[in-house]
Structure 1
Amino acid sequence: MARIRPRVRVPGEAAAGDVVEIKTLINHPMESGHRKDEDGNPIPRQIINRFEALFNGQEFFSVDLYPSVSSNPYISFFAKVDEAGEFTFRWHDDDGSVYEETKGIALS
């Protein structure tokens, strides 16, 4: 299986009160559990089932994901930035793994 790697694009700076677009993508197979391997055995389900975005430790965006989401899920959303700080992004996998990425933003 390919290495699971989150990627995030956040502007490096913004003016106080600006609304910025945040783009995320995680390399993940998002196996639904409905397919079978070459021998006819079911391939176990493995999906990112939850995504959370926090700013300075406070959750401001989250989404629950289901097997119908394609592999390498891309999520784009907006956030209003009133102060400098740090965004934390977390992807929760069915197997209990949590993938995390952080990005800072400064006020201009």
Structure 2
Amino acid sequence: MGKKTIVLGASENPARYSNMAVKRLRAHQHEVIAIGKKEGRIEDVPVHNKKMEEQAVDTVTLYLNREHQKQYEDYILDLHPKRIIFNPGAENPELAQKAKEQGIEPVEACTLVLLSTNQF
């Protein structure tokens, strides 16, 4: 199994980048925990509408703007992932700085591009 990844801001809407990311992550054999506004499914991945207690998280990939990230900030940092990917539109210098101070690598990039270029 690949890297355990939490997709924050997951949507059942196939036109959303978060939806594409869940599908692409699964296609690359990564374990995906999807968290969104409402419960649902993206192929074989359930979408949860609450914070999931997880261990050994490699990556949190954000599809929420800075304002919507606030309610998840402590949750993200408490997971202590190896890195946080700030997808386009999710840039947050304050959270990136807090992550860095805790030894978490902040990455401003697009998860879909990282996957398609084998840099995930």
Q: TM-score, normalised by structure 1?
A: 0.24
Work out which structure has the larger RCO, using CA pairs closer than 8 Å and 6 or more positions apart in sequence.
Answer: 1
Structure index of larger Rg: 1
Query: Which structure has more strand as a fraction of its residues?
Result: 1
Query: Which structure has more helix as a fraction of its residues?
Result: 2
